[in-house]
Amino acid sequence: MATKAKRPKVDDGSEVDPLQNFLQWCNRVGLDLSNKVCVSKEGTVAEYGMLAKDNIEEGEVLFTIPRSALLHQETTVVSALLEKEKPCLESSSGWVPLLLALLYEYTSPQSHWKPYLSLWTDFKTLDHPMFWSKEERDRLLSGTGIPEAVDTDLANIQREYSDVVLPFISKHRDLWNPDTHTLELYTQLVAFVMAYSFQEPQEEDGDEDDDEEEEEEKAPNPPMMVPMADMLNHVSKHNANLEFTPDSLKMVCVRPISKGEEVFNTYGQMANWQLLHMYGFTEPYPSNSNDTADIPITNIYKVAAQGAGSDLGRQLLEEQWEMLCQMMQEKGAVVFGKQGCLTDTELHTVLKVLCMSKEEFSEFKENEGWEEDEEDEISLAFSNEGLPGLKASWKWLIHEAARLTLRSYGDWAEGVDSHQALMEDKAALGGLSSRQQKALQVRCGQQSILHRLMELTKS
């Protein structure tokens, strides 16, 4: 078993309340907490959270964290070594330096961040799908995109640990120990970073002449741990937001909060499948205004292939598909939100290429593309308002691809035809495990978006 952070003890051997210990530490490191808020485990949606002790106005600062209190690769005790060895610590995630810092600080009795890290003694309570069995993930979450995302994560974690972390810690046994800093602990800390870390937004250059491509190539900032800010839970209709300044980070109220209400941060615009994947929870259906459903582009192609009558038609379609695969860099899904398509440019490209006549396709290849349509027009055309007005061939492709995608949700709720019906049956819902309930929230959100899309595109 991996060594866990032990609960602090006072002289008589009794345990210190980890929260009080953490709040005292906050005081010592100069973290300024408004007396209008408090951290609590009661009256919150999930374990620790922040509550308003008084009415709070928009713009009020709830707490300020000096940058020296943040835990990341430049503040950890082992920062000089991490900096010196930077080239050997590169990986696709870019998380290895922070994870090495956490492996060290989490298991070091002298760590400056001990009162902070001692708040969590078992990261598995986060209940990320990565801690479910593969069988349970595949059974409960098929069709949601989560099983594939978790399989990729687990393969990456294992590779990163064996190729980068283990050789590194084996070389520095004065600081790390492979018997303590195991793959199991590493995986748990990955889940901690997924659910608790923050990424500072890239600074805007302000130089308008800058080449756009250069801007896009900037790597994202590495993640960091932000004590106190990570005590806040998330909802899509949040009431507070973290602001970054050169000296400190500030949690600022973004809509009035009444006394007794929970203070909610935003973890970003997260669909329920992303919340479950990254944080191990979902917002109750249908309250997540950021919910989305993906349609794999292969499903649009499969539908188009069913509709291609002759051999010649099928050959043309295959050429068009080959070209699309070269054009689309991402793994290939179009995303629909509650108000319409969120990847309208990609969907527009897919529909345009797959519906071209032989002549149009030859012209397209000769010109190496087409004149781009106005972005605003595309965005309107693929919004819920615009979808019913699309041309019939495009509507048919979207409609049938949505139907095909809906079929990919296996049904684990035996005897129940519709997930929606189960959602409305409070007694049956109460009989489900918490994992089954979360899976249901994800599926219902995605399915309702796809059903709506079928309605909007029916001929």
Ligand X SMILES: C[S@@+](CC[C@H](N)C(=O)[O-])C[C@H]1O[C@@H](n2cnc3c(N)ncnc32)[C@H](O)[C@@H]1O
Question: Which residue ranges make up the site for ligand X (CB under 6 A)?
Answer: 45-49, 126, 195-196, 230-231, 233-235, 279-281
| Cβ proximity to ligand X, 121 vs 162, nearer residue | 121
| HSE toward the beta carbon, residue 422, CA cutoff 13 A | 22
**Smallest separation, CB 59 to ligand X (Å):** 23
**Smallest separation, CB 250 to ligand X (Å):** 17
Q: Cα separations (Å) of 337 from 184, 290, 325, 328, 389?
A: 36, 7, 24, 20, 18
| Cβ proximity to ligand X, 45 vs 80, nearer residue | 45
**Smallest separation, CB 278 to ligand X (Å):** 8
**Smallest separation, CB 192 to ligand X (Å):** 9
| Cβ proximity to ligand X, 239 vs 405, nearer residue | 239
Contact 199, 132 (CB under 8 A): no
| Cβ proximity to ligand X, 19 vs 77, nearer residue | 19
**Smallest separation, CB 233 to ligand X (Å):** 3
Six token digits for residue 134: 């593969």
| Cβ proximity to ligand X, 16 vs 235, nearer residue | 235
**Smallest separation, CB 284 to ligand X (Å):** 9
Six token digits for residue 32: 């300024």
**3-state helix, strand and coil shares in percent for the chain, rounded to the nearest 5:** 50, 10, 40
Return d(Cα 195, Cα 280) in angstroms, integer.
8
Contact 406, 450 (CB under 8 A): yes
Residues 6+ apart with CB under 8 A from 110: none
Identity at 457, one-letter amino acid code: T
**Smallest separation, CB 193 to ligand X (Å):** 11
Q: What is the DSSP letter of 226?
A: -
| Cβ proximity to ligand X, 223 vs 340, nearer residue | 223
| Cβ proximity to ligand X, 274 vs 349, nearer residue | 274
| Cβ proximity to ligand X, 126 vs 387, nearer residue | 126
Six token digits for residue 350: 């897919």
**Hey, which residues does 39 pair with through a beta bridge?**
50
What is the per-residue burial (b if ≥16 Cβ within 10 Å, else e) of 412-425?
Answer: bbeeeeebbebbee
**Smallest separation, CB 416 to ligand X (Å):** 25
| Cβ proximity to ligand X, 47 vs 54, nearer residue | 47
Sheet with 233-234: strands ordered across: 37-40, 49-52, 262-265, 233-234
Contact 182, 113 (CB under 8 A): no
* Contacts for 181-185: CB closer than 8 Å, 24+ residues apart: 181/2, 181/103, 181/107, 182/2, 183/157, 183/158, 184/1, 184/2, 185/2, 185/3, 185/103, 185/106, 185/107
C-beta atoms surrounding 291 within 10 Å: 27
Angle at 288 between CA 285 and CA 291, to 5 degrees: 100
**Smallest separation, CB 42 to ligand X (Å):** 12
| Cβ proximity to ligand X, 176 vs 281, nearer residue | 281
**Smallest separation, CB 331 to ligand X (Å):** 25
Return d(Cα 2, Cα 114) in angstroms, integer.
17
